[in-house]
């Protein structure tokens, strides 16, 4: 069931949520966190759908803050999707008019699940410094997506300059299958790795992170090469026993090649937002590996004099 509250207030929304909890005998007690989505009208449908899919694994109160006409009078139009309508959790779609769009924290704080962690997600253009953003300041984890920016790589690099523990980006989360596969190739004797390379479509932020992660973990130079995509199309480790190569040209299945072994076909599909978001919601502490990779990227920028 969906309840519509045009031109409402946070007090009225809270009263409706409390009434729902009484009617079902709990409600918010089953929510493991509050997921705040900061978005606009164009992106909110896909973002809420991804959060709903992720909610099957992490029942949450999803609060979508949808900014509307900034010149209008202050107002809130609310849409409450009760449990069962939006998966096992509940969803609040709040359309903010006028100056409320610039102060979304004042709207969302009264609606947080009590004593539960808060995660903020910007599915579109995110803030340069998420931890200083009004919504980011109340969140334990802050998730952005550099791929949605006009200049994805510079957007990622600029945000990394402001990195603080708790920040992450879906450009990093999309790398999990690649990092797992590359790490597994090192479980078998393969010789000493002396260099590496990452091949991907131009301006693809995940490729920059993968190259920095490999360089940090293996302490070797990593070359970034370009291809026609989609996404990352290959990674190669140069060892004194021969090359270990992963090539994925269709975005779904990769070929793993190792010295003195037959080639192997490996499932390596590109990840959708819901899958990446669900992974991020599994951990509510800071991602130390991403933090190390971000530090490595910053160090490389200082050495080369690069600016975001």
Average pLDDT of the segment spanning 127-135: 96
Separation CA 200–CA 249 (nearest Å):
10
Q: Residue 84: pLDDT above 80?
A: no
* Residue whose token pair is 């903010």: 96
Q: How much is the mean pLDDT over the chain?
A: 90
Q: Are strands 193-200 and 232-239 parallel, antiparallel or unpaired?
A: antiparallel
Q: The domain 2-144: what is its CATH number?
A: 3.40.50
How many Cα atoms sit within 13 Å of 104 on the Cβ side? 26
Confidence tier at 308 by pLDDT (50, 70, 90)? very low
pLDDT of residue 252: 95
| Biggest distance spanned by C-alpha atoms of the chain | 70
What is the tens place of the pLDDT at every residue in 150-188?
Answer: 999 999 999 999 999 999 999 999 999 999 999 998 877
Of the candidates 2, 3, 6, the residue with the CA atom closest to the CA atom of residue 97? 6
* Cα 298 from chain centroid (whole Å): 20
Sequence spans of domains, the chain:
2-144, 172-267
Separation CA 132–CA 236 (nearest Å):
38
pLDDT of residue 24: 61
Separation CA 164–CA 141 (nearest Å):
10
Of the candidates 180, 157, 16, the residue with the CA atom closest to the CA atom of residue 92? 16
Separation CA 29–CA 21 (nearest Å):
9
Name the least confident of 13-22, 45-54, 225-234: 13-22
Return the beta strands (E) in the chain as ranges.
2-8, 33-40, 60-67, 75-86, 89-97, 118-121, 141-144, 167-169, 193-200, 222-226, 232-239, 242-247, 253-257, 264-267
Which residues, in sequence order, are CB contacts of 302 under 8 Å at separation 6+? Answer: none
Question: Three-state DSSP class for 229?
Answer: coil
Q: Are 253 and 230 in contact (CB under 8 A)?
A: no
Number of Cβ within a 10 Å radius of residue 164: 14
Q: Residue 307: pLDDT above 50?
A: no
Number of Cβ within a 10 Å radius of residue 152: 20
Q: Residue 302: pLDDT above 70?
A: no
Helical segments of 126-272, H only: 152-161, 170-173, 176-185, 205-218
Q: Residue 73: pLDDT above 80?
A: yes
Average pLDDT of the segment spanning 200-219: 95
Query: What are the φ/ψ torsions at residue 119 (nearest 5 degrees)?
Result: -120, 130
Q: Are strands 232-239 and 242-247 parallel, antiparallel or unpaired?
A: antiparallel
Tokens of 264: 């192997």
| pTM score of the predicted model | 0.91
Tokens of 200: 């991907």
Separation CA 14–CA 168 (nearest Å):
30
Confidence tier at 25 by pLDDT (50, 70, 90)? low
In sequence order, the β-bridge partners of residue 33 are 60
Question: Three-state DSSP class for 216?
Answer: helix
* Cα 128 from chain centroid (whole Å): 15
């Amino acid at each position: 069931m969906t309840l519509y509250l045009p031109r409402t207030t946070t007090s009225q929304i809270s009263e409706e949520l409390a009434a729902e909890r009484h009617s079902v005998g709990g409600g918010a007690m089953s929510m493991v966190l509050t997921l705040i989505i900061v978005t606009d009208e164009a992106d909110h449908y896909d973002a809420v759908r991804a959060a709903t899919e992720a909610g099957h694994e992490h029942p949450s109160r999803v609060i979508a803050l949808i900014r509307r006409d900034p010149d209008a009078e202050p107002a809130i139009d609310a849409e409450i999707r009760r449990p069962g309508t939006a998966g096992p959790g509940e969803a609040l779609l709040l359309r903010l008019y006028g100056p409320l769009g610039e102060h979304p924290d004042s709207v969302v704080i009264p609606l947080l699940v009590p004593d539960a962690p808060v995660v903020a997600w910007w599915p579109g253009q995110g803030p340069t410094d998420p931890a200083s953003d009004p919504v980011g300041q109340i969140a334990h984890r802050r998730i952005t997506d550099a791929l949605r920016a006009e200049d994805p790589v510079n957007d990622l690099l600029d945000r990394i300059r402001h990195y603080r523990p708790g920040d992450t980006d879906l450009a990093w989360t999309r790398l999990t299958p690649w990092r797992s596969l590359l790490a597994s190739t090192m479980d078998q004797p393969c010789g000493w790795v002396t260099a590496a390379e990452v091949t991907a479509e131009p301006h693809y932020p995940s490729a920059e992170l993968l190259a920095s992660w490999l360089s940090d973990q293996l302490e070797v130079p990593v070359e970034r090469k370009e291809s026609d995509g989609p996404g990352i199309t290959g990674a190669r480790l140069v060892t004194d026993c021969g090359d270990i190569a992963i090539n994925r040209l269709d975005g779904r299945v990769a070929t793993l090649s190792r010295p003195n072994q037959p080639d192997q076909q490996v499932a390596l599909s590109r990840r959708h937002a819901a899958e990446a978001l669900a992974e991020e919601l599994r951990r509510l502490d800071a991602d130390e590996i991403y933090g190390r990779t971000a530090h490595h990227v910053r160090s490389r920028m200082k050495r080369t004099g690069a600016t975001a």
